[in-house]
Amino acid sequence: MRILTIACSIAALMAASPLSAQTLNVATAGDQNMVDYVKDYLGPMFEKSHPGVKVVSVGTGPGDSGSQKIYEKLDAQKAGNATDFDVVVIHQKAAGTMVKEGLLAKYTDKVDTSKMVSSESAKNSLGSDVSGFVIPMFQSQTALAYNADLLKTPPNTFAELKDWAAKNPKQFGYNGIKGGMSGVAFVTGWVYAFGGDSDKLIKGPYDPAVKASWDKALGELKDFNKNVIITPGNAGTLDMLNRGEIAIGPVWVDMFYSWQADGKLPPNMKLKLAAPGMPGQPMYYAVPEKTANRKLAEEFIALATSPQVQADGIVKKFNWYPGIDAKNLEGKLDQAAWNKLFTDITPADLSSKGKSFPIAPYFNDILESYEKKVAN
């Protein structure tokens, strides 16, 4: 009898515990710094304001492959009652697919901070309509990083860069397209610069015949590649810049600033956005359609996109551009932190030369044409 009582009370405890101790699973596609951002910064803050809630941060790996894993998990659990993830942080390409396949919930009207978002990418993700389904966590941007001691006047345009690389062989380095997104961004910038109408690639509509018009640009890129170094990965480019093995190469702006702050890049490194520009991308907060903790997930995202968190966490701590409109951050951020983000790349540069990636079908065409015409 006593054993039965104990067993019953344990069972009752176990049944009741989800109410008193809820778990919010946040899956993040991205580099380790993004997983840490949730685990060490956002998570504890949310737990403090929501006693009894535990935030579990899961990383699914960097780049589109990380988002692909989240997509596969949600897709596999489509038929079930609830997904394992309550909040997902995903890339643009996967966001479009997930919205189309009904894996995400329309939640932004329940979150007040969504009104502070002004960027186009919150509505349009590489050609897919995602309005209502996502709020940008941050905006990230690629640019050319260069060693100001080795290179006094950095190239202003892609055409100047092409000539410069021919005169200075093996001084430019990028990571191709299989080693991370900074190389992909450079190749995209190249196609924007030399492949014709870049607006059509960004806004659509898709026309499969367009890729034939890139042949000349990609042929030139193949020649250009003979004079450059193909680095191993996003970090590989930064490593080589750090060791003085190359003088200039494309990098992610946030990685650049973080590495510089950690002393992994010398202070004489600078950034340059060459015309016509290079792409950047946001990461999105989204809520899976079948989450069991919808309300909590919305509250988590509301906190994550609040002006104070965007100022302290996104801009100051991690050197990303804010996901909500920057004017909401006024007064929340000291001038020094703000200036640092815009030292080399001014807000004017950013608005004229910070491009989007092309819509998904063109994006795939660029990558595959590169594999066909340049790499093989």
Partner 1 sequence: MLSQRQLALVLIAPGLFLVAALFLYPLVFSLISAFTRPDGSFTLEWFAKAYELYSGDIVFTIVIVLASCVLTAVAAIVIAGTLTLGENPWIVGTLKALYRWPLFIPFIVAAQCMRTFLAKNGLMNNTFVSLGLMEPLSAISFLDWRGIIATFVWKQTPFVALLLAGALASIDRATLEAGRNLGASRARVMLELALPQVMPTLLVALVLSFVTMLSVLSVPMMVAGSQPTMLTVDMAFRINAYGDYATANALGVITYLISAGAAIIYLKRGMNQEATS
Contacting positions for partner 1 (CB under 8 A): 63-65, 68, 97, 175-179, 183, 225, 229-233, 236, 239-240, 243-245, 364, 367-368, 371-372, 374-376
- State in angstroms the smallest separation of the CB of 203 from partner 1: 22
- State in angstroms the smallest separation of the CB of 188 from partner 1: 13
Query: Which is closer to partner 1, CB of 41 or CB of 259?
Result: 259
Query: Which is closer to partner 1, CB of 68 or CB of 128?
Result: 68
Residue 321's DSSP bridge partners are 139
- State in angstroms the smallest separation of the CB of 229 from partner 1: 7
8 Å CB contact between 211 and 365: yes
- State in angstroms the smallest separation of the CB of 179 from partner 1: 5
Query: Which is closer to partner 1, CB of 64 or CB of 86?
Result: 64
Query: Which is closer to partner 1, CB of 52 or CB of 263?
Result: 263
Query: Which is closer to partner 1, CB of 68 or CB of 319?
Result: 68
- State in angstroms the smallest separation of the CB of 37 from partner 1: 22
Query: Which is closer to partner 1, CB of 240 or CB of 311?
Result: 240
Burial class (CB in 10 A: 0-12, 13-18, 19+), 3: exposed
Instruction: Tell me how far apart the alpha carbons of residues 346 and 302 are, in angstroms, rounded to a whole number.
Output: 29
Structure tokens that stand for 98 in this block:
């997930």
To which residue do tokens 């780049």 refer? Answer: 63
The beta strands (E) that lie in the chain are given as: 22-28, 53-59, 87-90, 124-125, 128-129, 135-147, 173-174, 229-230, 248-252, 269-272, 278-286, 321-322, 354-355
Instruction: Tell me how far apart the alpha carbons of residues 336 and 358 are, in angstroms, rounded to a whole number.
Output: 34
- State in angstroms the smallest separation of the CB of 64 from partner 1: 5
- Shortest CA distance to 192 belongs to which of 67, 362, 325, 15? 362
- State in angstroms the smallest separation of the CB of 284 from partner 1: 18
Query: Which is closer to partner 1, CB of 44 or CB of 244?
Result: 244
For residue 283, how far is the Cα from the chain centroid? 4
8 Å CB contact between 132 and 108: yes
Ordered alpha helix ranges (H), 155-214: 158-167, 181-194, 198-203
- State in angstroms the smallest separation of the CB of 20 from partner 1: 39
Query: Which is closer to partner 1, CB of 211 or CB of 353?
Result: 211
Q: Is 99 left (phi over 0), alpha (psi -120 to 50) or beta?
A: alpha
Please report how the helices 360-369 and 181-194 are oriented relative to each other, as an axis angle in degrees rounded to 10.
90
Instruction: Tell me how far apart the alpha carbons of residues 250 and 360 are, in angstroms, rounded to a whole number.
Output: 22
